[in-house]
Structure 1
């Protein structure tokens, strides 16, 4: 078994034994969607592309693509960002 697979299995076991949320142990992103107009992303690494039609966000495990119209990053901190606009789709790309 590859080292990464073993590491992922260990993290999953720690998560289940401790009862701690995945985002804490695994560093997983948390995405909250409010209707079609607000999106909150926690645990991201950086903004890769930012236009009024496309926002690409890099996370630890994947890339998130937000597609829509009049997209705007209302705010971002080291921990969270808020995207508003007419959100048409959210895609996860490796």
Structure 2
């Protein structure tokens, strides 16, 4: 008779060790708090650093969707981030971070 699995748990094939599924949104945040780690690192949340209205550093992105003079849209784990303004330029593009410079007017989660 096969073993019944508890909801929220899975059994790995190789070691038959029970490991917690990170399906619940609060599970990773609770783990970060317990281990005294920043939540954005453990939960893979985006980190935004805005310097005035002329420079934005975005870490933990998932790729640029739209890049225009007045609009930059980026995939993030929480959906999408839309940056609007004038003369927007991507100054730094790395797999884990981008820097947007220009006259930033708004930042919106979509």
Given the alignment of the two structures, is residue 52 of structure 1 paired with residue 49 of structure 2, yes or no? no
The residue number in structure 2 matching 1:40 is 57
Q: C-alpha displacement at 1:27, in angstroms?
A: 0.2
The residue number in structure 1 matching 2:88 is 71
The residue number in structure 2 matching 1:85 is 102
Higher-Rg member (1/2)? 2
Q: Distance in 2 between matches of 1:9 and 1:51?
A: 36
The residue number in structure 1 matching 2:34 is 17
Q: C-alpha displacement at 1:18, in angstroms?
A: 0.7
Flag structure 1 segments of 5+ consecutive residues without an equivalent. Answer: none
TM-score (ref. length: structure 1): 0.90
Flag structure 2 segments of 5+ consecutive residues without an equivalent. Answer: 1-7, 9-20
Q: Distance in 2 between matches of 1:30 and 1:9?
A: 18
How many residues matched?
91
Higher RCO, Cα 8 Å, sep 6+: 1
Q: State the 4+ residue runs in structure 1 displaced beyond 4 angstroms.
A: 3-6
Q: Distance in 2 between matches of 1:9 and 1:67?
A: 31
Question: Root-mean-square deviation (CA), in Å?
Answer: 1.7
8 A Cα contact 2:22 2:28, kept in partner: no
Q: C-alpha displacement at 1:41, in angstroms?
A: 0.2
